[in-house]
Structure formats: C-alpha cells, structure tokens
C-alpha cells in the first residue's frame, strides 16, 4: 500500500511538471504585453493545475488617480461569480439539514407572488419566474448607488409580480440569488458576510475574498473604469443591493483555489456538487456549462459597474482559470479563449491593435443608415472628426477603429464592419457569423 501510494504521488508530480514544461508562458506573456501596450485591459488572471498556481499576470492600476498599480493581491468585485459562492452556501445549509431543495419560499417571503409554489431549487436554477430587479436599466441606474434594506428590496421584487409559472422555463434573474442570500441569513442567523467567511473563506484560507463594502483602495481594492478615449471612473453599486447575487470581492488566485476545492469535493459533498452541475434548462445551480473544444468545463461569469470576471474549471487536467478586470477596452472572452488555448495547447494569435489613421473627408463614403434582411435592426454610421461611429437600433453608439481596406472594428464586442462603398453595402461580422446590410 505504501509503495502504491508513493508511485501514485510521483505520477501526479510528473504529470504536473510535464504540463508546466509544455505550457508556453512566454507567448502568453507577450499576449498580455500587447494588451498593456495598447491600453486594452486592466485586471488579473490566474491558472492552477492540481491546486498549484502555474500562471498569474496582472495589468493596469487599482486606482488611476493615485497611480496605484495593481498586483496579484489586488481585490476586484467579481459580480455574478458571487452566485457560485451563494449556491455553495445553500448546499452547506442543505447538508446541515437546515433547509431543503424542494422547500418553498413561502416561509421566508410570503408576500412574493407564487411563494407557495416557488422552491429553493427554482431560485438556484433561475426557474422561479421572479423578474430581475435590474431589468429596467434606466430606473436601476437612478438608485443603484444608494443603500437598500431587505424590506425595500423585497417590496421592489414583490411589486414586480411574476414573469412565468415556476419551473416552466429558465430566465436569468439576480432577484433569485438576492432571495437566496436572505434565506441564508435567516437560516444561519448571521449576516451573509459572516456566513461566507465561516464556511468558505476561512476554511480555504481565501484571505482576499469577502463580501464587499465601499471600495477602499488603501486595502488594495480596485476601482472600476470604462474606456472613453481614456479610463473614466465608474459609479459604485452599493453592496446592500446585490449581496450574494453579485457583491463578493476576490482575486483570481483565491478564485482558482476556491474552484479547485469546490470541484474536488472539499467544500460540499460530491453528491451536492453533482446536483449543482446538473443542468435544468439553461443553467446549473450557481454554475453553467463552459465547453472549450472537447473539454467539458463548469463555471460562471460576472460583471458589475466596470468590473468583469470569469471563473472556469476543467476536470480534464484539473485546470482552474480565473480572470478579474476593473477596466476593459477589448473583448474579455477573447482573452479567456487565448489563455485556455495556451493551457490546452491550442493555436491562438497575439492581437494586432495597429490602426490606420483616416481623414474626416475619407470617412464620408461610409456614412448613412444600413438595413439587413437577415436581422431586424438598422445601423446608422456617423463620424466624430476622424472616428467612425456606429449605432444599432436600441443600442448605444460605439466608436470604431480603422484597420484599413474598408474594415472597422469594435474590439470590446469582437465586431467587424466591412464596407463596400461602391455597392453601398456593409457586412457585420461577429462570433463567426456574417450579416449583409445595404445603405438605405
């Protein structure tokens, strides 16, 4: 038995070193160097295999005004990745026999419509029919920086009524996980922040993971930014609003440590984990399927204010990956694809951000309104001096960069607009799909 154990341990070690040797860190460094050079990304990434950190890179500033550079311990709001923590804590409560998956929420929230029919499982799966309190974006942005009590949030959620009958469809709603946060507080008889600390952060030694408060840059917490020719400070959602649906702060190093432990059965039981991973409609419980080529992964993404984050775990290779960002002028999904391609030895390229300068008169041939028979939107093309601007129906205007040969790009969303001025046509390219537009 001892010899077998030693041999098994050696095989794990050899597998780890074999992986590390084949992992081209220099190319990935060059990728991030390019993002840094062209001011495309501020944030941090981490990759772990078998619980060992094998790559970590941080770019940009935690606080631009103070010129405070970010480092591997800089803490970022992780948005909806908080839901993975909340679902895990719900299963902690289930394993302690405090609540049950099939238990309705009537006991906790009698004033919510269909409370007698909506179960904890429905909340976890986004199958409750309860509308998202952020649905009315314009209205939400009027009060999102103001503290809200549980009573105020419940009143707002109750007034929203119901979108569909429980368990008849899947519709992502932050309200579901806010309610789960309140259920945890009522069940454990302590604030969500303490529950998170007691059951996850302390046992796993996640020293940089906690429920956020007002951002404190002196505690190495990042502010968030949007890019408008330069980085502009974002507003700050009060954490009393999202709590466990989007209020947690963490680092990529803590996140890969958490996901490795979670998917290794060290936080909740393997039986509970299997339930979390079982999809019902579009979603699992606090996690979603994240395939990458032939690799089956699970995880979650998140965004809040100007922060964005990604967490994924792949059992094949025991790979955990996390990204946190406090400012992006690029498509973060492209960054994740590059990192995972490096990890799994898939081909990827370092982006070319060089642009071609255009004269203001040279842009005139592209101006106008374009319509498509393939999708029900129009795109209006205008200009601001030497910059082309596109605005689709019901969408905000976006500033485009010229790549030459009549092509313009919007890096954040991976959009390419290819013009054919002679034919008064334009092709929209995104996500491997192409749509033809004709100038009206």
- Percent with pLDDT over 70 in the chain: 95
CA distance 423 to 418: 12
pTM, rounded to two decimals = 0.86
Residue of 23, 27, 94, 29 lying closest to 56 (CA atoms): 29
Question: Which three-class secondary structure state does DSSP give residue 122?
Answer: helix
Q: What is the pLDDT of residue 3?
A: 34
Give yes or no for residue 16 having a pLDDT over 80: no
Residue of 397, 430, 234 lying closest to 326 (CA atoms): 234
Q: What is the pLDDT of residue 244?
A: 98
Q: What is the mean pLDDT of residues 216-226?
A: 97
Judge residue 427's burial from the number of C-beta atoms within 10 Å of its C-beta, 0-12 exposed, 13-18 middle, 19 or more buried: middle
Kindly indicate the confidence band of residue 20, based on its pLDDT and cuts at 50, 70 and 90.
Answer: very low
Q: Cβ distance 105 to 112 under 8 Å?
A: yes
Give yes or no for residue 184 having a pLDDT over 90: yes
Give yes or no for residue 408 having a pLDDT over 90: yes
Q: What is the mean pLDDT of residues 69-97?
A: 98
Residue of 303, 355, 351 lying closest to 327 (CA atoms): 303
Q: What is the pLDDT of residues 135-161, one digit of tens each?
A: 988 899 999 999 999 999 999 999 999
Rounded to the nearest integer, the mean pLDDT of the chain is: 92
Please calculate the CA angle 323-325-328 and round it to the nearest 5 degrees.
120
Domains in the chain: boundaries: 76-343, 361-439
Q: What is the pLDDT of residues 56-65, one digit of tens each?
A: 999 999 999 9
Q: What is the mean pLDDT of residues 113-128?
A: 98
CA dist list (Å): 359 to 159, 238, 366, 408, 411: 53, 44, 12, 14, 21
Q: What is the pLDDT of residue 15?
A: 40
Q: What is the pLDDT of residue 246?
A: 97
Judge residue 97's burial from the number of C-beta atoms within 10 Å of its C-beta, 0-12 exposed, 13-18 middle, 19 or more buried: exposed
Q: Cβ distance 195 to 98 under 8 Å?
A: no
- Does domain 76-343 sit in CATH 3.40.710.10? yes
Enclosing H/E stretch for 341 = helix 332-343
Give yes or no for residue 10 having a pLDDT over 90: no
Q: Cβ distance 185 to 191 under 8 Å?
A: yes
Q: What is the pLDDT of residue 22?
A: 66
> Given this structure, which CATH class describes domain 361-439?
mainly beta
CA distance 325 to 251: 10
């Amino acid at each position: 038995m001892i010899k077998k154990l030693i041999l098994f341990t050696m095989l794990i070690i050899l597998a780890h070193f074999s992986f590390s040797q084949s992992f081209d860190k220099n190319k990935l460094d060059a990728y991030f160097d390019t993002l840094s050079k062209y001011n495309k990304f501020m944030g941090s990434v981490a990759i772990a295999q078998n619980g060992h950190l094998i790559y970590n890179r941080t770019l940009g500033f935690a606080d631009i005004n103070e010129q405070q550079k970010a480092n591997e311990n800089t803490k970022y709001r992780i948005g909806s990745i908080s839901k993975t923590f909340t679902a895990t804590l719900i299963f902690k409560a289930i394993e302690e026999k405090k609540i049950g998956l099939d238990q309705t929420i009537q006991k906790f929230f009698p004033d919510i419509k269909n409370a007698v029919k909506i179960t904890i499982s429905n909340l976890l799966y986004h199958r409750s029919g309860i509308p998202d309190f952020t649905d009315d974006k314009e209205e939400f942005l009027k009060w999102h920086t103001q503290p809200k009590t549980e009573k105020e949030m419940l009143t707002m959620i109750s007034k929203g009524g119901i979108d569909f009958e429980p368990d008849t469809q899947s519709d992502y709603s932050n309200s579901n996980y806010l309610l789960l946060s309140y259920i945890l507080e009522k069940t454990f008889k302590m604030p969500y922040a303490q529950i998170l600390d007691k059951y996850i952060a302390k046992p796993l030694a996640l020293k940089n993971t906690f429920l956020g408060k007002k951002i404190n840059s002196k505690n190495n917490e990042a502010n968030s930014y949007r890019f408008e020719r330069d980085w502009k400070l974002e507003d700050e959602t009060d954490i009393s609003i999202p709590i466990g649906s989007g209020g947690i702060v963490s680092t990529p190093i803590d996140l890969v440590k958490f996901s490795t432990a979670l998917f290794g059965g060290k936080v909740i039981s393997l039986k509970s984990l299997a339930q979390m991973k079982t999809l019902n409609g579009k979603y699992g419980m606090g996690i979603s399927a994240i395939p990458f080529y032939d690799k089956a992964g699970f995880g979650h993404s998140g965004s809040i204010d100007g922060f964005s984050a990604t967490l994924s775990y792949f059992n094949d290779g025991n790979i955990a990956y996390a990204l946190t960002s406090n400012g992006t002028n690029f498509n973060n999904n492209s960054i994740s694809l590059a990192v995972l391609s490096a990890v799994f030895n898939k081909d990827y390229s370092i982006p070319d951000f060089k642009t071609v300068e255009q004269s203001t008169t040279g842009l005139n041939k592209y101006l106008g309104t374009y319509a498509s028979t393939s999708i029900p939107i129009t795109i209006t093309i205008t200009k601001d001096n030497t910059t082309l601007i596109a605005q689709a129906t019901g969408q905000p205007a976006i500033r485009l960069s010229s790549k030459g040969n009549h092509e313009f790009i919007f890096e954040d969303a991976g959009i390419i607009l290819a013009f054919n001025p002679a034919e008064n046509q334009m092709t929209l390219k995104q996500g491997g799909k192409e749509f033809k537009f004709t100038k009206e």
